Amino acid sequence: MSGGGDDVTDAPESSAGNSPEPTESDDSAEPTAFETTRRDGVVRLRRAGVEWLSSGADGGRWKTGSAYNLTVPDGWPRTDLETYVDDRLERAGFDERGPALLTGVDVGDARGARCGSVTAIVTAGLSNPAVLPMDPQGGALPDDDLQSASEPGDPVGTVNVLVGTTRSLSDGALANLLTVAAEAKAATLLETTGFPGTTSDAIIVGHDPAGERSEFSGTATAVGAATRACVRDALLEALRAHYAGSETGVPRSIEAAKYGLSTDVAANVFDPD
């Protein structure tokens, strides 16, 4: 895990080893005051007073300044996640609790992007891609006990996304922003890899309740468009960083991926009454 020991503040390193130039919108008045810090296998996105919405294991709404993405080591035993995260944050010197995502990808390969009011950080690995065929051949639903996280020892990937906007969003706009980020993630991956995601992707989005108010966050809004741009650009660079020098590279198919999954079960379609 090459991320251990480094302490990078203000932006994750680019693939060339330098802090990337932020991608800004034409609105120079937009504050981009989310701080990023990376050390000891943890990357943090922070701004005081933020409200977060997470799809991770500790998901839901959080009111705290920080959101995190943590690298778990090979052979990591899936145990008490809350205790594990708290211990990791303490060891890394982060004293503020917050929503956290876990990944088998080294957060040293995390990449960030900024546009308008939005800052995003992404890690990306595709050893466990999932596809959705449009002509399913038939199959069964997964076991209910099968969780999105890997079995202990499985070196899975995961695409994890942290997004923060300095705008103040309505409840609906915050929930929709997670959808916008997921759509941008899937569109970028489909275009570049042929997969919409992996079996364990997760997203955290946050807004500043004290910021300029935005009632909506769809793709036609400034915050929605900025989120799409940030997720796309950070994800592209995160993929390049993670697979730079890799002998295998991105899997070319589900069959070529060690942990690939295809949803082949067909649903019963009906016309609502």
CA 174 – CA 147 distance, rounded (Å)? 26
The DSSP-derived string for 38-56 is EETTEEEEE-TT-EEEE-S
What are the φ and ψ backbone dihedral angles of 194, each rounded to 5 degrees?
90, -5
Asked if residues 56 and 147 have their Cβ atoms less than 8 Å apart, the reply is no
**Which H/E stretch holds residue 44?**
strand 42-46
> For the residues 249-259, what does the mean pLDDT come to?
86
Categorize the per-residue pLDDT at 24 as very low, low, confident or very high, splitting at 50, 70 and 90: very low
Q: What is the pTM of this model?
A: 0.86
Percent of the chain with pLDDT over 70: 83
Asked if residues 198 and 45 have their Cβ atoms less than 8 Å apart, the reply is no
Count of other CB atoms within 10 angstroms of residue 147: 13
CA 243 – CA 224 distance, rounded (Å)? 28
Categorize the per-residue pLDDT at 25 as very low, low, confident or very high, splitting at 50, 70 and 90: very low
| 186-219 as b/e: b if 16+ CB within 10 A | bebbeeebebbbbbbbbbbbbbbeebeebeebee
Asked if residues 180 and 227 have their Cβ atoms less than 8 Å apart, the reply is yes
Asked if residues 127 and 258 have their Cβ atoms less than 8 Å apart, the reply is yes
CA 237 – CA 104 distance, rounded (Å)? 17
**Is residue 254's pLDDT more than 90?**
no
pLDDT tens for residues 107-163?
999 999 999 999 999 999 999 999 999 999 898 998 865 554 444 444 467 999 999
Mean pLDDT, the chain, whole residue set: 87
